[in-house]
Each structure stands twice: as structure tokens, then as C-alpha cells.
Structure 1
Amino acid sequence: MIIVRRQCSRSVYSDFGVSTYLARIGDSLECSLNSKHDNVNPGWRSCLNDLCDGFIRRARTPLTSFGCRTSLMKSFATSNGEDLDVVSMPNVCRPEQEVVGSSLLETSPVYNEADVEQICVLLSGSEDWDSTREGLEKYNVNFTNELVLEIIRRCKFHSGTALRFFDWVGERDGYCHSVETYNMAMKIAGGTKDFERMRSLFYEMRRKGCSITPHTWTIMIMQYGRAGLTKIALGIFEEMKASGCEPNGSTYKYLIISLCGRKGRKVDEAVKLFREMMKSEHVPDKEFIEIYLGCLCESDKLSHARKCVNFLRKVGFSTALSYSLYIRALCRVGKLEEALKLLNNAGEERETLNEHVYGSIVHGLLRKGDLEAALSKVDEMKQAGVSPSVHVYTSLAVHYLKEKEIEKAEEVLETMKREGCKPTVVTYSALIRGYVGMGKVDDAWSVFNQMKSEGPSPDFRTYSMFLSCLCRIGRSEEALGLISEMLGAKIVPSSVNFRTIFHGLNREGKHDLARLVSQQKLDLAKQRKSTT
């Protein structure tokens, strides 16, 4: 029996840029599709791939089969945390459906966990590949596709080692890589921007007769898109269609998101592909729509944004949800007048919309510096029985911090906690930035350490912001310590992070430490990218 578990879709875009969002959803492509599914009809295959969108792999159990059942989807959540209904849609499979059941998922891994752990330790224990290879050859284990997939998945942070192991095991007698292992290796190579190796693996797949699935093409498209190489991503997309492989919902989603990013942005192509996606009857999810509408509003293509909203209403998004996504997108790019006009002309939907978008309205008013109007809006919603959201509180705190009113920002934080509204990473990050800006570095460290001990844990943006602030005020040596913490938390520092600390240390006359940072950057690049 197939059981469909409905999950609430939460916005993950509102606090992050497109590149960060792409990095996060990249992990969802680890959801492996068995090659035998390529023989099913396009509608079923589209459903299978849509199920992979947003699926977070919580267990190490490989997927062996999928099923899909149409159903009424409810509880689409806004970025402010409120729930809105989605109208019943026949013959539509949503990414938020997770199919579970004894007939669909293995009840236990098809590999030995001890083997995975020991081999991963062996692979990460030495930089000398010759000695590592000797250890592997002495280790008596039957390498299966499932075992190899799990090993390279866990070792993806050490991409060079993972790909060496991939090559080594592929040459063993009696073993042949599967579509899933090739896909994972391509994802690892592309993740380190080794696009030559990624394409080489693709050609090897085809040469050896492996089935090239939409999932395989999508990996390449997404990896080029993440790097801002959208022209190449578009070329891969055309190559995919020319080969006779039909793009699925995930393919359109990740390509359009790439085209909406600031690096390599191509808005006209994104609009064209969105229309093509709609004609192909692939229904977008809410997070994708947030990014797409945000790009259209920022690019002043409001007529296309309105057409998108009208389409959403036709395919099952409620009127309130469709317009709230549009209004929030307008507010985020500073088009507050257009947002208020749309809200005022909402008619019967005005009351519902007001409840769900007031956080974005407050944020927009604060960005304009109109604190009085923002506080008036908060009081208006309180009188209507709507409690301020974390979005509203964070916006108020950020405003006070920019105005150097740290005490009022702290009062906002205390009010949040008292009313049971839990601060987010964005809230705490704003507080850290404010403390550093006012010279209260000890207080900033106190908040940062509180995040690590009590949560929410600092993310890449928090670390990057904090180290930049420290370097700006002449405390680059403290920022250097954050690099080690990032690596310990399995967060990969960017080139910008290293460069910021390098220049900061040199400005402070700490040239030996600056050279150490430069060496750390080279060592990390060698560790992640070396394949020889």
C-alpha cells in the first residue's frame, strides 16, 4: 500500500540569495532515480522527478522505487509562517509529497555500515593515494553500487579522494558503475568547478551504455548555473532536448533559478523557459516562484510578474497565496508603492492578504526609513489579533541597529523571546553585526557563542559576515580562527573569506599570518580539487 505523507513547504529563500539557495537545493539532487524508471511514460517520470524536488535525505536508505498518487495539497506556508490553502488540482504531483511504505523503501541498507565507515576512514586518513590504494586492495569487501554510492557521498567534502576512489573501484573485476554512482561523481566534480571532469564522466557514461536520465542532465545544468555560467547551462539544456531526453520539472526549476541569479542573470531567457515549463504542465513549487517573481520585480518586468500570478491561480494556487508572493517580491526590491496599491485594490481578499503580507510591508517601510508608519502597521495587526512574526521583529531589530540604537534592538529581541517567537539565524546575525559596528565585540562574540551552544547554528552567511566585520575593525586574527571553525562545522570557506582575512592581516602588519592564510587556501583547494 502506498502512503503519501504531506509535508508543509517552508520558505528557504527569503533570507538567502539565489546562489545560497542553489547550493542548498543541490543536495536534493542526491535523491537517486533507478535507471529502470526511464522506460515509464513521461507523466509518471515527471512525477517521479518532482518527488525528488525538496526531498531531504534523512536516512541512508537508497530509494528503490517510487509511486505517485494525486491528492488535495494543503498547508502551503508563507515566509512569515502562516498557512494558506492550495486549491485541489487533479493530476498534479507536488514536490512536498514524500512516498513511503514497505513496498517502496528498503527497510535496511543494502550495505554494511561498518564497511562504509572503515573505507571512509581509510580514504580520509592519508594524502598518499598509493598507500590508500594498497589499503583498499587489502580490505576484503564486495563492492556494490549501493556501497560505492554511499562512500563517495560521505567523502564528497574531500572531492579529490572521492573521485580517485570512484576511478579505482570502477576498474575492479566484476564491478560496473551505475547511473547513480556516475551522477554522484558528476555532482562532486561540478561542485568543485571541475567541469572538464564532469563532462568527461558524462561521456564515459554514454560510451559505456549507461542510461542518460533527466537527472543526469539536470546535474550538469545546475552545476554550471551555480557558477554563473548560464550560457553554458542553456547550451546543455538545448543539447539535452536535441538528444531526445525530455526536461522534467527539476530541470526547468534549477535552470530558471540560475538565470534569475545576479551572476549570469538572463531574465528574458528565464521568462521564455517559464512559459515553456508551463506548456509542459510542470507545476512550480512556492520557493521557486518566490525567486522567479523576485527576479521579475527587481528587473522591472511587472507585466510578466502579473502573468505569473494569474497562471498560479489557474493551476491551483489560492488567490491569497498567489498575490501574497507577488506583494512580498515587490516589497523586497523596494517597490512599496506598487505593493500597497495591489493590496488596496484586493477587494474581498484585502483582509486575508493584509494578514499574510504585513511583515513584508513593515520591512519595506523600515527600509524607506518610515519607522512611524511601520510601527503603526504593527499596532494595526495586533489590534486585528495577528501577532508579529519573526520577520517583523527581525526587521525592527535591524532598523534600530542601523540607527545605532542598540538598547531598542535588545528590547525587540527580549520581546520576541517573551512572546514565544524564536529568533532565527538572520536575527542573531543582525545583532552580531550591530554589536561589532558599535565597537562591542565582546557582546558580538557572546551572541555568536550562544548560537553555537543553543542554536540556531551559525551558517555560511553568519561566518562570512562576522569575519568581515572583525577584519574591518582591525581584529583579523580573531577572524582567522573562524576559518578553522567553519571547516570543523563542514562549512567550506569561500575565496572571498580567505581574501578578506589575508588583506586584513596585511593591513595590520601580520604578514606571517597572512602567508599562512594564503597557504590554507591553497591546501584546501588542493584537497578538494586534486584528482591525481
Structure 2
Amino acid sequence: MLSLRENISQTAVPSLKAHPKRSSLHHSATAPPPHPEPTAIAKLILKTDNSETITRNLHTLTNWTPHLVHTVLKRLWNHGPKALQFFNILDTHPFYAHSATGFDHAIDIAARLRDYKTVWALVARMRSRKLGPSPKTFAIIAERYVSSGKADKAVKVFLSMHEHGCSQNLNSFNAFLDVLCKSKRAEMAYKLFNIFRGRFRADTVSYNIIANGFCLKKQTPRALEVLKEMVERGLVPTLTTYNIMLKGYFRAGQIEEAWGFFLQMKRRKVGIDVVTYTTVVHGLGVVGEVEKARKVFDEMIGAGVLPSVATFNALIQVLCKKDNVENAIIVFEEMLRKGYTPNVTTYNVVIRGLCHAGNMDRAIEYMDKMKDDNCKPIVQTYNVVIRYYCDDGEIEKALAMFERMTGGSCLPNLDTYNILISVMFVRKRSDDLLVAGKLLIEMVDRGFLPRKFTFNQVLNGLLLTGNQGFAKEILSLQSRCGRLPRHFRL
């Protein structure tokens, strides 16, 4: 295996002096690059199992910057154990010190792995270096607790912030309410809001967050009650407030109310913006009012409000879902002609539309086009294509796309593994079941926790196809993950 320096030196980047007072690990005549390429670093970390080798290679490179470190962490995001290994090794580098943002990234990864012991050890390390923790750090931790079903723990995190040297204020209070509301815990957020609003002097942002929380749960009457209370307390609604309610009506399927509210906003001249129009275009389109959505899109331009990339994305998505993908591509081309640069979301919407229309070859062409716009496919892009290949029974093509994904700079996530493992049971072939078992092991190694159902499904499949030895390995893995198995006779 190539060393980190040797591998990166092949990536056509400028050269750099080696680490002072350190000889080259492999005595290579080629000097390492000044700005190591993050993708190459991530690949080497993924391919190298020996911790000492990785440490020597990372310490050999000197031009580490916070931006480079954060980029590598993002490349390794879907392999939590390797990401934390990289962070901890670099933490011992003689000429580099992690930033507060670097610690926040590491804490987020550890919390996603539900390794809370590591989370709080990192928080303590941040504090000892006077890098924090900040309100953002606690918002990250709270969000991970909530997403793992431990909302009560998240509340304790907020209430204990001061014990870690970070005092609570209105901004941190609002950030915490936002975490709860976006996780569909609007009732819990509202109770805490009522308890602490006097202490933190709740503002319009606080009320907007709570209203949005109820809108996310399609409880628009509750959201209106909150906003009425806000006005009664002397706070003035903002354009954001109106946009929250508008989107809430559309989300709840209250189309007549949404349209009436939009017209009311226009009559009141509250300063309708691009977010307002984008919400209406998307909301109308979702319910099949494609022509009306297109008229609103044209109207906004006539009103002097320039559409954003998000507006084009909304219209393209609507056309893909409720009209046809060819009309969506016409809008995509129109967007290019007007000088807009498509983003990942734009491409993902078009690619999904082409896949849904059964035009897989053209969808792949658009994946390749993304590079021309300096816009690389992300895990969601690959997942869409893999899922449609699986739905079409094209299992080999799905696995080939998985290989293309892992061979690039994009690591699979939990959805990727679940999609592929599920399709391995379609043909009931022994070889497919072995692939499912290998995927299950790989996903656990990367820090993902499979459902108990997934473990049992793979175990049953291996047993039925005569793979008792491999089944024992999976059973042992299941026990280590805490997904206690039911009784299997191996």
C-alpha cells in the first residue's frame, strides 16, 4: 500500500517541503504536496488499518489548516470510527491544533455514533483549551439526543450548559427550541418556552420557531394561537412569520387557506420576497396545480422579484412529479440560459425525475454533467439511482453504482446499506445473501446501527441458504451491537 505522501504526490498538485527534523517514511525522492488533497487523504485513511502507519503519515504532512481538516472530516462523515481516528491522530500533531469548529464536527460524529462518553470527553477537552464549548456545541449534542429518541436528555443538556462554562442566553434558548421543533417535539418546546420565556425575554424569533414547530406537525390552528399571543405581547410579526404560516398551510394540505393567505399578504403589502413566491410555486405544484404554479413563477418576475436557484428547483421538482420530466428539463435549460448555476438539489431533482420516467441512461448522463458544473454527486444522488436500479431488478447495476460511489469521494450512508441489503433477498440466491451479510458487517464497522429486523432478515437468509458459518458471525455481531437476537438454532 502506498504511503499517504506517495499517494497524494500522484494527484497532480504542487510539491512541498517535508516535515522538518523528520525523514520521509519511505525515503521517497518526491516531496509531499503543500496542500494535501482531502479526497486522497480520506482514501488513504479508509484503506489503512494500521493506526501507527496513519499517524506517521499524517504527522509527516505539515501544511494542515482548519479548512483542510474540516473537509477531510466531511469526506469521512459516513465512516464515523475512521473520522474520529483521523481527528484524534491529528490532535497529537506537533504543529497543528484543532479549532472549535473541528471539535464541533468530532462531537457531532461521536454523538451520531451514540458514543456519549466520547462526546463529553471532547467537550471537556474543548473547555481545557479554552475553545468552548459554545451554544452551537450544545445545540449539536441536543439535536443528536433528540434524533435518537432521548428528548429528555436533550433538555438536561440545555439546562446544564452553565456547568460546562457556557451560559444560557436568548440565542442558545432559541437554538434549543429550534432543535426540538424541527424534530417534531413542538409540544415539549412550547412547554419549555412558557417556563423560560420570561427569563430569556422571548422575542419574535422565539415565537416564529414555536409556530414553525406546530406547522411542521400540520397543526396550523396551534401555530396561529402562538402568533396571536406574540402580537398580544407587543411583538410585531415579520415577513418570516408570514412565510412560516404560508408554508404551514400548504404543508397541511389547506390549499384554499394558503392561497387566501398569500393574497392577503399581497393586499397588506408586507414585502413579499423570493421565499414567499418559492413556497407558493412548490405548494401549488405539489397538489397538481402546475399551470397555476407556473403563472405565479412568471408573476414574480413581473413583480420585480428575481427567482433564486431554490425557486427554479421548486418548479423543476413540481414538473417532474406532476407533469413530465421533459418539461422540467426545459426549465433546467432556461435556468442555465439566464445565468443561474444549478446546485446539487437541482441535479438530484432532475436525476430522480429521469429515473422515475425509466430513463436510467439519461439519469447517469446528468450525474456525469454534475462534474462540469463543479457540483459532485452526493450520497443522496447515488441513493436515488441505486434505489431505482433495485426497483427495476437491475441488481448488478445497483452494485456497480455502489462500487462507483465508494471508489470516489462519497461514502454510503445508512439508507444506502438498507436499500442494497433489502434487494439481496429478491432472487433468494446464496451469493446474494453472502453479499447482504458482508454489507451488514461493513455498515456496522462504519458506525451505523442496523435495525433488529435487518439482522434477523440476514440471519434467516443465511441459514436458509446453508451459510451457517457466516450466520454465526452475524449473530455474534448482532449481540455486540446490542440488537439482542431471538433464539436461532445454528
- Tell me if both proteins adopt one fold, taking TM over 0.5 as the criterion: yes
Does the residue aligned with 1:451 lie in a helix, a strand or coil? helix
Q: Is the 8 A contact 1:119 1:151 kept in 2?
A: no
Change (3 A) 1:136 1:430: closer
Cα distance per residue 1:255-275 (max 9 Å; x no partner): 33332245xx32112224456
Shift of 1:428: 2.8
Shift of 1:435: 2.0
Whole-angstrom CA distance in 2 between matches of 1:116 and 1:426: 25
Which residues in structure 2 correspond to 1:500-519 (within 5 Å)? 500-508=419-427, 511-512=430-431, 515-516=434-435, 518-519=437-438
Q: 1:197 is matched by which residue type in structure 2?
A: T
Alpha-carbon separation, structure 1, partners of 2:97 and 2:287 = 60
Deviations 1:36-65 (A, max 9, x none): xxxxxxxxxxxxxxxxxxxxxxxxxxxxxx
From 252, 262, 272, give the equivalent of 2:173. 252
The change in CA–CA distance for 1:283 and 1:489 in structure 2 (over 3 A counts) is farther
TM-aligned CA distance change 1:220 to 1:423, over 3 Å: closer
Q: Which residue is equivalent to 2:49? A: 127
Q: Tell me the distance in 2 between the aligned counterparts of 1:354 and 1:186.
A: 37
Deviation, 1:431, is 2.4
Structure 1 162/472 Cα, relative in aligned 2: closer, same or farther at 3 Å?
closer
Which residue in the other structure is 1:295 paired with? 213
Amino acid across the alignment from 1:128: N
Identity of aligned residues (%): 23
CA root-mean-square deviation? 4.9
Question: Counterpart of 1:465 in 2: which secondary structure?
Answer: helix
CA gap 1:428/1:184 in 2 versus in 1, 3 angstroms: closer
Deviations 1:147-181 (A, max 9, x none): 798897566426535655777898999x9999888
Q: CA deviation digits over 1:302-326, x for unaligned, max 9? A: 4445645985999998844442343
TM-score, scaled to structure 1: 0.60
Structure 2 CA distance for partners of 1:162 and 1:356, relative to 1, 3 Å: closer
The residue type equivalent to 1:470 in the other structure is: Y
TM-score (ref. length: structure 2) = 0.64
- Give the alignment of 1:67-146 within 5 angstroms: 126-129=48-51, 135=56
Check whether the contact 1:186–1:201 (CA below 8 A) recurs between aligned residues.
yes
After TM superposition, give the deviation of residue 186 of structure 1 in Å: 3.5
1:352 corresponds to 2:274: no
Q: Does the CA-based 8 Å contact 1:343-1:350 persist in structure 2?
A: no
Which residue in the other structure is 2:189 paired with? 270
Distance 1:398 1:155 in 2: 32
Task: Select which of 307, 317, 330 maps to 1:411.
Answer: 330
Q: Which amino acid aligns with 2:377?
A: P
Is residue 397–residue 413 contact of structure 1 (8 Å, CA) maintained in 2? yes
Structure possessing the higher radius of gyration over alpha carbons: 2
Say whether the 8 Å CA contact 2:107–2:119 is kept in structure 1: yes
CA separation of 1:396 and 1:171: change in aligned 2, threshold 3 A: closer
Deviation at 1:444, TM superposition (A): 1.4
For the pair 1:469 / 2:399, whether they are aligned, the reply is: no
Contact 2:66/2:98 (8 A) holds in 1 = no
Paired residues in the alignment total 409
| Structure 2 portions without partners, runs of 5+ | 1-32, 450-490
How do residues 31-42 of structure 1 correspond to structure 2 at under 5 angstroms?
Answer: none
1:230 is matched with 151
CA distance in 2, matches of 1:245, 1:512: 54
- Asked if 1 retains the 8 angstrom alpha-carbon contact of 2:214 and 2:220, the reply is yes
Q: What secondary structure is seen at the aligned counterpart in 2 of 1:506? A: coil
**2:365 aligned with 1:365:** no
Take 1:391 and 1:151, find their aligned partners in 2: how far apart are those partners? 28
**Pairs within 5 Å for 1:270-419:** 270-274=189-193, 276=196, 280=200, 293-299=211-217, 300-304=219-223, 307-308=226-227, 319-346=238-265, 349-350=268-269, 352-353=271-272, 357-381=276-300, 383-386=302-305, 390-403=309-322, 405-419=324-338
SS in 1 for 2:272: helix
How far residue 218 of structure 1 moved from its aligned partner, in angstroms, is 4.1
Deviation at 1:469, TM superposition (A): 1.8
Q: Distance in 1 between matches of 2:68 and 2:337?
A: 46
Structure-2 change in CA distance of 1:445 and 1:149 (3 Å): closer
Partner SS for 1:353: coil
Q: Distance in 2 between matches of 1:211 and 1:356?
A: 36
- C-alpha displacement of 1:397: 3.5
Q: Which residue of 1 aligns with 2:467?
A: none
Q: Pick from 106, 110, 119: which aligns with 1:198? A: 119
Q: Tell me how far 1:234 sits from its aligned partner.
A: 1.5
**CA distance in 1: counterparts of 2:129 and 2:398, whole angstroms:** 50
Q: Contact 1:190/1:223 (CA < 8 Å) preserved in 2?
A: yes
C-alpha displacement of 1:506: 3.2
Shift of 1:346: 3.8
8 Å contact from structure 1 (residues 155, 161) kept in 2: no
Say whether the 8 Å CA contact 2:220–2:248 is kept in structure 1. no
Alpha-carbon offset, residue 498 of structure 1 = 0.8
Q: 1:283 to 1:511 in 2, by over 3 A?
A: farther
Residues 467, 238 of structure 1: alpha-carbon distance in 2 compared, 3 angstrom cutoff: same
- The structure whose RCO (Cα within 8 Å, separation 6+) is larger is 1
- Residues 177-227 of structure 1: CA distance to partner in whole angstroms, max 9, x if unpaired? 998886665444224332233235557888x89897445544432332344
- Quick one: distance in 2 between partners of 1:181 and 1:401? 39
SS in 1 for 2:160: helix
**Is the alpha carbon distance of 1:372 and 1:463 closer, same or farther for their aligned partners in structure 2, counting shifts above 3 Å?**
same
* One-letter identity of the residue aligned with 1:280: F
**Aligned mates of 1:394, 1:180 — CA distance in 2:** 30
SS in 2 for 1:345: helix
Matched, 1:160 2:81: yes
Change (3 A) 1:113 1:220: farther
Per-residue CA distance 1:384-412 (angstroms, 9 max, x = gap): 45565545544444344335634333333
Letter in 1 for 2:178: I
The offset of 1:432, in angstroms, is 1.9
Corresponding residue for 2:160? 239
